[in-house]
């Protein structure tokens, strides 16, 4: 028995190595060195907003990516576009200066079902639903990027649009927080809205409004909304010079954070609002409590918030430190970095936060499982990147840029832990971030900038019902062939573009070169065939490996059952002999004896060994039966793991 097992191990090991090799992505390409940012003239920037016109990409790409001027006009354009994307997402009554003119007033009656005006705000993605959870995170990221990279917004003459983008969201959040005990978290129903694919003029009803409150808390959304109010209060107070608005926002932040901490039981919000489970179910509320406390601390400098942030993070990190990728659902990594910056020069345990931040950044930089780098160098985390590849990479880049900036701005703030000087770490984080930005802007195997409207290779059919010009969910992928409107600047969800806002502001202020796409000619290159994420040689390897394993298992089974097989062969002979003799009139025909058939009642084999059977069966686990639906018909197997080089923003509509 032992030897049978042992003889299989090399084969099993070989197969594991093959499978492991498939899961293992090659190391990332080294990021371009951080461009020097010595020249900082505050030049006036002339920019043209294309409105409904064609992309402004020149027919002949430039042959160099050295920027013709500073700031680079393409980065200025990208910052302008990514903010304009939010105008395309506006809900409610549109203002006279709306630049995205193909949008119209819509969903004006939101909130009437609860006697409130909840019109306005932003549609979440390519549909017409309003969700607070991704919105508040998007606003926090945007306001943080505004605070940290404000110079980029100034250089690009985009501070006005930053203000408008944030204010449009905040004005609605104020409506959604009508009193200190109540927060509206969703308007619309996915099962109604997602059956509709058409213009903003006939959005289907009903559009119910859902709330959490002091008796039915949603601890995560409350704390996350507090973080949005606090971060944006700080932006208005310190950068956009609107103290009145800042203090309004701060009082909402106060009330919401208190509600999150005191309303019991503390719980995830979909417990109270199951309708949100479709789309933005929260996996826990402690990271949001830490995130809210961290922003309250940064805004107020009240050390009690630092203590609370620390306590929540310790709770989250018990028994070991969590270094998950940053998403709308997980802000832990950002809490470390936010607190490291906010505690610099205070007595509020800066060393702890700086240490955690660098640990997080070093992990991100080296992408251990479940993360890795694709062949083209994209930071990719299984479990998160499948649907949202661009934003996982953009959030990571945003976080590392923030940390590098903080470390560069405050001398000697590095923890001194681990290998490498502070300056080396700063350079390393920046080179990671720039590598991700460049990937998203065209430096990838498909030579595709994943931003709509900046290049002929940009996605032309992003998932957006209003932009599509389509009118039926049945023809979502086919009609019209090319979307009617170009949704400039889109990565196509509020939270996808949010880190991109800050990143483009950073590029405006720091980049001496143009984005990679300026030298990419129109047309995507042909890539070697990719079959469900695997290349042909990998599939061949798997097939050969499987045949080898099947033969080996067969051989082992035969060897283990050699006595039974012999007995079976012998019994066949015997049967033949008996049939012959019966036919010849020597007694009754006997029931055939099936030797070695195992659990049957007829004919026990003489030398059957249960123990052996058991071992062999364990090694040769049969494949599970095909899945069956209710009509008991086989259904297709579940999809294979994500492909190696994901399409970040599919040209086909996603249903």
Ligand X SMILES: *[C@@H]1O[C@H](CO)[C@@H](O)[C@H](O)[C@H]1NC(C)=O
Candidates 98, 180, 349, 538; binder of ligand X (CB under 6 A) is 180
Choose between 216 and 311: whose C-beta lies nearer to ligand X: 216
Choose between 241 and 617: whose C-beta lies nearer to ligand X: 241
Q: How far apart are CA 80 and CA 159, in angstroms?
A: 10
Contacting range for ligand X; rule: CB under 6 A; set: 15-23, 247-255, 427-435, 564-572: 247-255
Beta-carbon contacts of residue 191 (< 8 Å; ≥ 6 apart): 278
As a dihedral over the C-alpha atoms of residue 220, residue 224, residue 227, residue 228, rounded to 10 degrees, the angle is: -170
Choose between 157 and 413: whose C-beta lies nearer to ligand X: 157
Q: How far apart are CA 356 and CA 165, in angstroms?
A: 32
Contacting range for ligand X; rule: CB under 6 A; set: 21-29, 52-60, 208-216, 228-236: 208-216
Q: Report the nearest approach of ligand X to the CB of residue 191 (Å).
A: 18
Interface pattern 400-439 for ligand X (x via CB under 6 A) = ----------------------------------------
The radius of gyration of the chain from alpha carbons, rounded to an integer in Å, stands at 31
Candidates 216, 352, 563, 643; binder of ligand X (CB under 6 A) is 216
Candidates 141, 254, 362, 645; binder of ligand X (CB under 6 A) is 254
Q: Please report, as residue ranges, which positions from 18 to 77 form the binding site for ligand X (by CB under 6 A).
A: 44-46
Q: Report the nearest approach of ligand X to the CB of residue 280 (Å).
A: 16
The three-class DSSP label of residue 373 is: strand
Q: How far apart are CA 373 and CA 185, in angstroms?
A: 35
Choose between 267 and 389: whose C-beta lies nearer to ligand X: 267
Cα–Cα nearest to 227, from 126, 113, 140: 140
3-state helix, strand, coil in the chain (%, to 5): 50, 5, 45
Q: Report the nearest approach of ligand X to the CB of residue 290 (Å).
A: 20
Choose between 99 and 608: whose C-beta lies nearer to ligand X: 99
Cα–Cα nearest to 49, from 103, 99, 87: 99
User: According to the binding rule CB under 6 A, does residue 219 interact with ligand X?
Assistant: no
Q: Report the nearest approach of ligand X to the CB of residue 190 (Å).
A: 17
User: Is the dihedral angle over the CA atoms 338, 508, 443, 83 positive or is it negative?
Assistant: positive
Choose between 221 and 619: whose C-beta lies nearer to ligand X: 221
Q: Report the nearest approach of ligand X to the CB of residue 159 (Å).
A: 9
Choose between 48 and 472: whose C-beta lies nearer to ligand X: 48
Cα angle 595-598-601, degrees, rounded to a multiple of 5: 80
Q: Report the nearest approach of ligand X to the CB of residue 43 (Å).
A: 9
How many Cβ atoms are within 10 Å of 411's Cβ, its own excluded? 8
Peptide bond into 370 cis (omega under 30): yes
Cα–Cα nearest to 407, from 428, 427, 426: 426
Candidates 82, 142, 157, 461; binder of ligand X (CB under 6 A) is 157
Contacting range for ligand X; rule: CB under 6 A; set: 207-215, 235-243, 331-339, 592-600: 207-215
> Where does 195-302 have alpha helices with state H?
219-238, 243-262, 286-300
User: According to the binding rule CB under 6 A, does residue 209 interact with ligand X?
Assistant: no
User: Contacts with ligand X: how many residues (CB under 6 A)?
Assistant: 15
Candidates 142, 194, 211, 354; binder of ligand X (CB under 6 A) is 211
Choose between 255 and 648: whose C-beta lies nearer to ligand X: 255
Residues 396, 362: contact at Cβ < 8 Å? no
- As separate numbers, helices (DSSP H) first and strands (DSSP E) second, the chain gives 19, 5
Q: How far apart are CA 232 and CA 223, in angstroms?
A: 14
Contacting range for ligand X; rule: CB under 6 A; set: 79-87, 249-257, 287-295, 646-654: 249-257
- 653: exposed, middle or buried (Cβ count in 10 Å: 0-12, 13-18, 19+): buried
Q: Report the nearest approach of ligand X to the CB of residue 208 (Å).
A: 10
Choose between 251 and 546: whose C-beta lies nearer to ligand X: 251
Choose between 193 and 254: whose C-beta lies nearer to ligand X: 254
User: According to the binding rule CB under 6 A, does residue 160 interact with ligand X?
Assistant: yes
The three-class DSSP label of residue 523 is: coil
Choose between 492 and 504: whose C-beta lies nearer to ligand X: 504
Choose between 226 and 309: whose C-beta lies nearer to ligand X: 226
Contacting range for ligand X; rule: CB under 6 A; set: 211-219, 231-239, 240-248, 534-542: 211-219
Looking at the DSSP assignment, which residues form a beta bridge with residue 513? 66
Choose between 51 and 570: whose C-beta lies nearer to ligand X: 51
Structure-token pair, residue 272: 């109270």
HSE (side-chain half, CA atoms, 13 Å) at 220: 26
Q: How far apart are CA 566 and CA 378, in angstroms?
A: 58
Q: Please report, as residue ranges, which positions from 262 to 321 form the binding site for ligand X (by CB under 6 A).
A: 272
DSSP 81: H
Contacting range for ligand X; rule: CB under 6 A; set: 251-259, 295-303, 422-430, 625-633: 251-259
Contacting range for ligand X; rule: CB under 6 A; set: 166-174, 199-207, 250-258, 455-463: 250-258
User: According to the binding rule CB under 6 A, does residue 213 interact with ligand X?
Assistant: yes
Q: Report the nearest approach of ligand X to the CB of residue 526 (Å).
A: 41
Choose between 46 and 320: whose C-beta lies nearer to ligand X: 46
Candidates 251, 417, 484, 546; binder of ligand X (CB under 6 A) is 251
Q: How far apart are CA 468 and CA 126, in angstroms?
A: 9
As a dihedral over the C-alpha atoms of residue 264, residue 266, residue 267, residue 271, rounded to 10 degrees, the angle is: 10
As a dihedral over the C-alpha atoms of residue 284, residue 502, residue 53, residue 650, rounded to 10 degrees, the angle is: -40
As a dihedral over the C-alpha atoms of residue 437, residue 439, residue 440, residue 442, rounded to 10 degrees, the angle is: 120
User: According to the binding rule CB under 6 A, does residue 395 interact with ligand X?
Assistant: no
Cα–Cα nearest to 147, from 533, 444, 501: 501
Interface pattern 316-355 for ligand X (x via CB under 6 A) = ----------------------------------------
Q: Report the nearest approach of ligand X to the CB of residue 118 (Å).
A: 14
Residues interacting with ligand X, by CB under 6 A? 44-46, 157, 160, 180, 210-211, 213, 215-216, 251, 254-255, 272
């Amino acid at each position: 028995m032992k030897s049978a097992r042992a003889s299989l191990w090399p084969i099993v090991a070989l197969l594991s190595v093959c499978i492991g090799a498939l899961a293992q992505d090659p190391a990332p390409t080294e990021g371009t060195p951080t461009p020097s940012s010595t020249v900082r003239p505050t030049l006036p920037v002339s920019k043209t907003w294309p409105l409904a016109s064609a992309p402004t990409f020149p027919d002949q790409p430039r042959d160099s990516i050295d920027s013709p001027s500073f700031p680079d006009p393409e980065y200025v354009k990208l910052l302008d576009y990514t903010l304009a994307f939010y105008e395309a997402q506006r809900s409610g009554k549109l203002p006279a200066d709306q630049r995205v003119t193909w949008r119209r007033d819509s969903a004006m009656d939101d909130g009437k079902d609860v006697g409130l005006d909840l019109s306005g705000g932003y549609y979440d993605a390519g549909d017409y639903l309003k969700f607070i959870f991704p919105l508040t995170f998007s606003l926090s990221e945007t306001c943080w990027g505004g605070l940290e990279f404000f110079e980029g917004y100034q250089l690009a003459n985009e501070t006005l649009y930053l203000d408008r983008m944030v204010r449009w969201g905040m004005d609605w959040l104020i409506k959604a927080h009508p009193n200190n005990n109540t927060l509206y978290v969703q308007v619309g129903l996915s099962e109604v809205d997602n059956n509709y694919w058409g213009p903003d003029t006939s959005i289907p009803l009903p559009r119910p409004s859902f709330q959490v409150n002091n008796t039915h808390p949603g601890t995560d959304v409350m704390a996350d909304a507090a973080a949005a109010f606090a971060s944006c209060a700080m932006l208005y107070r310190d950068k956009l010079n609107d103290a009145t608005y800042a203090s309004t926002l701060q009082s909402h932040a106060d009330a919401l954070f208190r509600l999150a901490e005191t309303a019991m039981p503390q719980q995830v919000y979909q417990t109270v609002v199951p309708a949100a489970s479709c789309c933005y179910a929260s996996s826990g509320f402690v990271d949001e409590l830490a995130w809210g406390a961290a922003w309250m601390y940064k805004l107020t400098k009240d050390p009690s918030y630092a203590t609370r942030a620390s306590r929540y993070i310790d709770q989250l990190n018990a028994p070991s430190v969590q270094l998950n990728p940053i998403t709308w659902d997980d802000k832990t990594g950002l809490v470390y970095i936010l607190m490291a910056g906010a505690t610099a020069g205070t007595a509020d345990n800066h060393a702890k936060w700086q240490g955690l931040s660098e640990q997080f950044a070093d992990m991100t930089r080296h992408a251990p499982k479940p993360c890795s780098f694709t062949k083209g160098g994209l930071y990719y985390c299984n479990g998160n990147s499948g649907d949202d590849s661009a934003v996982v990479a953009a959030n990571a880049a945003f976080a590392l840029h923030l940390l590098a900036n903080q470390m560069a701005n405050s001398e000697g703030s590095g923890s001194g832990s681990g290998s490498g000087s502070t300056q080396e770490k700063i350079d390393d984080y920046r080179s990671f971030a720039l590598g991700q930005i460049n990937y998203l802007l065209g430096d990838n195997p498909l030579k595709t900038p994943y931003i709509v409207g900046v290049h002929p290779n940009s996605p032309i059919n992003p998932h957006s019902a209003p932009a599509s010009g389509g009118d039926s969910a049945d023809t979502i992928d086919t009609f019209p062939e090319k979307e009617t409107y170009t949704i400039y600047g889109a990565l196509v969800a509020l939270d996808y573009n949010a880190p991109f806002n800050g990143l483009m502001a950073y590029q405006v202020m720091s980049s001496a070169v143009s984005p990679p796409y300026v030298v990419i000619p129109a047309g995507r290159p042909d890539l070697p065939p990719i079959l469900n994420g695997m290349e042909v040689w990998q599939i061949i390897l798997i097939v050969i490996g499987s045949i080898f394993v099947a033969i080996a298992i067969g051989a082992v089974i035969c060897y283990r059952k050699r006595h039974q097989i012999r007995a079976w062969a012998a019994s066949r002979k015997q049967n033949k002999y008996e049939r012959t003799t019966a036919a010849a009139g020597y007694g009754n025909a006997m029931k055939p004896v099936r030797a070695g058939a195992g659990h049957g009642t007829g004919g026990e084999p003489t030398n059957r060994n249960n123990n052996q059977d058991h071992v062999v069966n364990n090694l040769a686990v049969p494949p599970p039966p095909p899945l069956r639906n209710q009509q008991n018909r086989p259904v297709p197997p579940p999809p294979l793991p994500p492909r190696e080089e994901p399409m970040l923003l599919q040209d086909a509509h996603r249903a």
